[in-house]
């Protein structure tokens, strides 16, 4: 494989975007943001609090109530989304490098996964903009004409995590824009930079001022203020379920609409009749993609007993061979964990795993700078162990052997989560049986981590509420108005 080292980008925008202006926090405060691959601070970013959130919500409210956005034809709104997609495509290399700098993920993955999905998501919802309409209802009242209108829900507060900063922004912005909403985005404090660059591109695309506002800051201050603000109609949140519980309680007094995309402990089930090469590759991608910082990571790997030893041997060879290191190197397969805090959390779970189970690959950090962790595999895991039940959010997988189909269905559903699940088999009956029985928002059959702008994504149980992507996500951003007209 040829190896190129991409030059790290220089950091540009660090201010907040409010009402079309790039401005410092009212308090003048900033916070450091880091490069996970070196552990060094790379920029100081405006640190918004409740005053900045209030200013941004006021701007979004004004843009919603009286700006050009609500009056613009849906087709013209769609054109602006197409334009933003084009600008992302034109600036893909620069955006990807900035994401790598601030998040630590490998450049090859950003260019192969995050960026193409972002572009297709903006184009997908650009296409929806002028296809959102109501119905006429045949009411049982002579002379009455009854119809519905689909109207934007209003001002949306969007709170996103650090694992896919640009893609999570896209999943929030694109359907909200297509629906005619205005918004205030609060990026994760670990990864504030790419949202600001995308904000610049949104301004360049011609999205009117106040429609998109971005306030960086911490969850407990800026995020909290956004959730509680009476001028916000809806919160779309991606992050930990424990944060969602706080958000749900804090949003209750103002009865905000809420959608959540939360964590997971997804079962990845391999039957003895599966294509083993594909299943091993799928298990690798399932858990180690994006350093394991993936809400739908296949972190519980159920292997049918008769192939267990062979599977584990091939899987651990593949894990040992995985290239972990400089995310700017195009041949790197796994980059750095996002922060010292996450690195410490993952390493403490690895220590716990060594007490509870057998470590057959990895189990250690890499290098003496940055926050790198070797792909780690535990065997002899039981489903009720902490490493099999708690979300680690790192490159750590629990292998659990199973004997029969009923047992694996029961065990795979024994979790508080329900985001995703996968099954590997050549037996179509088993594939359908598991697809129906597994309580998860997405089931992959003989594949893992496939995504599409049109395919709904979200969780059962503690993994979420509502769906992102697809037609489903549009409904999160729409109210239905019923109009009765007496023609008598
Ligand atoms: P993690 O612990 O992995 O960082 P979180 O769920 O805490 O995941 O963070 C996801 C997003 O939620 C971030 O943007 C963070 O700032 C925000 N956040 C954290 N706490 C709160 C809160 N109490 N209210 C609103 N947003 C919050």
Strand ranges in 239-282 using DSSP code E only, listed in sequence order: 257-261, 267-270
Q: Region 358-373: what's the mean pLDDT? A: 97
Distance CA 258, CA 235 (A): 5
Ligand 1 nearest atom to the CA of residue 247, by list position: 24
Residue 70 has pLDDT above 90, yes or no: no
Q: Region 424-450: what's the mean pLDDT? A: 98
Select which of 295, 296, 333, 468 is catalytic. Answer: 295
- Of 48, 159, 392, the residue with max ligand 1 atoms within 8 A of its CB, to mutate for a pocket test, comes to 159
Ligand 1 nearest atom to the CA of residue 227, by list position: 25
With contact defined as beta carbons under 8 Å apart, do 196 and 13 qualify? yes
Please give the pLDDT value at position 2. Answer: 63
Per DSSP, the residues of 152-171 read E--EEEEE--SSSHHHHHHH
Residue closest via CA to ligand 1's atom 4 equals 161
Q: What is the pLDDT of residues 375-423, one digit of tens each?
A: 999 999 999 999 999 999 999 999 999 999 999 999 999 999 999 999 9
Q: What is the pLDDT of residues 116-167, one digit of tens each?
A: 999 999 999 999 999 999 999 999 999 999 999 999 999 999 999 999 999 9
Distance CA 363, CA 467 (A): 35
Select which of 99, 109, 189, 261 is catalytic. Answer: 261
Please give the pLDDT value at position 1. Answer: 54
Say if ligand 1 is within 6 A of residue 240 CB: yes
Distance CA 310, CA 283 (A): 14
Residue 112 has pLDDT above 70, yes or no: yes
CA-nearest of 375, 296, 294, 293 to 342 is 293
Retrieve residue 327's tokens: 């995310």
Band of residue 428 on the pLDDT scale cut at 50, 70, 90: very high
Distance from the CA of 179 to the center of ligand 1, in angstroms? 26
Q: How many CB atoms lie within 10 A of CB 443?
A: 18
Per the prediction, the chain carries an average pLDDT of 97
Please give the pLDDT value at position 66. Answer: 96
Does the predicted TM-score (pTM) go above 0.85? yes
Say if ligand 1 is within 6 A of residue 217 CB: no
Say if ligand 1 is within 6 A of residue 228 CB: no
Residue 310 has pLDDT above 80, yes or no: yes
Helices 92-103 and 165-179: angle between axes, nearest 10 degrees:
130
With contact defined as beta carbons under 8 Å apart, do 258 and 235 qualify? yes
Q: Region 357-382: what's the mean pLDDT? A: 97
Please give the pLDDT value at position 67. Answer: 93
With contact defined as beta carbons under 8 Å apart, do 373 and 365 qualify? yes
Distance CA 437, CA 161 (A): 30
Q: Region 216-241: what's the mean pLDDT? A: 98
> How many Å from the N-terminal Cα to the C-terminal Cα in the chain?
76
Q: What is the pLDDT of residues 1-58, one digit of tens each?
A: 567 999 889 999 999 999 999 999 999 999 999 999 999 999 999 999 999 999 999 9
Residue 94 has pLDDT above 70, yes or no: yes
Say if ligand 1 is within 6 A of residue 224 CB: yes
Provide the edge-to-edge strand list for the sheet that holds 182-186: 21-23, 16-18, 212-214, 182-186, 155-159, 234-238, 257-261, 464-465
SS3 41: strand
Q: Region 239-245: what's the mean pLDDT? A: 98
Half-sphere CA count of 275, side-chain side, radius 13 A: 8
With contact defined as beta carbons under 8 Å apart, do 117 and 451 qualify? yes
Please give the pLDDT value at position 485. Answer: 98
Residue closest via CA to ligand 1's atom 19 equals 219
Is 295 among the catalytic positions? yes
Residue 89 has pLDDT above 70, yes or no: yes
Please give the pLDDT value at position 3. Answer: 74
Retrieve residue 325's tokens: 């290191």
Say if ligand 1 is within 6 A of residue 219 CB: yes
Strand ranges in 308-418 using DSSP code E only, listed in sequence order: 358-361, 365-366, 372-373, 376-379, 396-402
With contact defined as beta carbons under 8 Å apart, do 241 and 419 qualify? no
Percentage of the residues of the chain whose pLDDT score is greater than 70: 100
């Amino acid at each position: 494989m040829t190896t190129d080292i991409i030059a790290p980008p220089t950091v540009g925008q660090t201010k907040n975007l409010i009402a079309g202006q790039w401005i410092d926090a009212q308090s003048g405060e900033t916070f450091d943001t880091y490069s996970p691959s070196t552990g060094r601070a790379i920029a100081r970013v405006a640190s918004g609090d409740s005053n900045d959130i209030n200013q941004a919500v006021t701007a979004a409210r004004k843009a919603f109530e009286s700006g050009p956005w609500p009056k613009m034809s849906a087709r013209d709104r769609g054109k602006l989304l197409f334009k933003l997609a084009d600008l992302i495509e034109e600036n893909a290399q620069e955006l990807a490098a900035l994401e790598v700098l601030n998040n630590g993920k490998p450049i090859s993955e950003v260019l192969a996964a995050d960026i193409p999905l972002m572009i297709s998501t903006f184009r997908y919802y650009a296409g929806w903009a002028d296809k959102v309409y109501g119905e006429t209802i045949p009411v049982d009242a002579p002379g009455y004409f009854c119809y519905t209108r689909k109207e934007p829900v209003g001002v949306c507060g969007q709170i996103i995590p650090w694992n896919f900063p640009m893609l999570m922004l896209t999943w929030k912005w694109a359907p909200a824009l297509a629906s005619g909403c205005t918004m205030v985005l609060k990026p994760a404090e670990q990864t504030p930079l790419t949202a600001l660059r995308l904000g610049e591109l949104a301004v360049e695309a011609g999205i009117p001022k106040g429609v998109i506002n971005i306030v960086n800051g911490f969850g407990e201050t800026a995020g909290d203020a956004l959730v509680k603000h009476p001028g916000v109609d809806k919160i779309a949140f991606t992050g930990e379920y424990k944060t969602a519980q706080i958000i749900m309680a804090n949003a209750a007094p103002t009865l905000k609409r809420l959608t959540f995309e939360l964590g997971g402990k997804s079962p990845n089930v391999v039957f003895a009749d599966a294509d083993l090469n594909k299943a091993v590759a799928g298990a690798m991608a399932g858990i180690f993609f994006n350093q394991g910082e993936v809400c739908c990571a296949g972190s519980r790997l159920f292997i049918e007993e008769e192939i267990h030893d062979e599977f584990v041997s091939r899987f651990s060879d593949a894990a040992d061979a995985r290239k972990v290191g400089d995310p700017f190197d195009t041949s790197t397969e796994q980059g750095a964990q996002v922060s010292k805090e996450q690195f410490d959390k993952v390493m403490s779970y690895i220590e716990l795993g060594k007490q509870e189970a057998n470590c057959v690959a990895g189990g250690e950090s890499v290098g003496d700078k940055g926050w790198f962790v070797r792909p780690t595999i535990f065997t002899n895991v039981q489903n009720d162990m902490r490493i099999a039940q708690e979300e680690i959010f790192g490159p750590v997988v629990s292998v659990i052997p199973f004997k029969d189909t009923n047992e694996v269905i029961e065990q795979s559903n024994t979790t508080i989560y329900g985001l995703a699940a996968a099954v590997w088999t050549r037996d179509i009956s088993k594939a359908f049986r598991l697809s129906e029985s597994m309580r998860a928002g997405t089931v992959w059959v003989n594949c893992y981590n496939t995504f599409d702008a049109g395919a709904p994504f979200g969780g059962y149980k503690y993994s979420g509420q509502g769906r992102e992507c697809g037609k489903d996500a549009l409904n999160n951003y729409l109210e239905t108005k019923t109009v009765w007209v007496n023609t008598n």
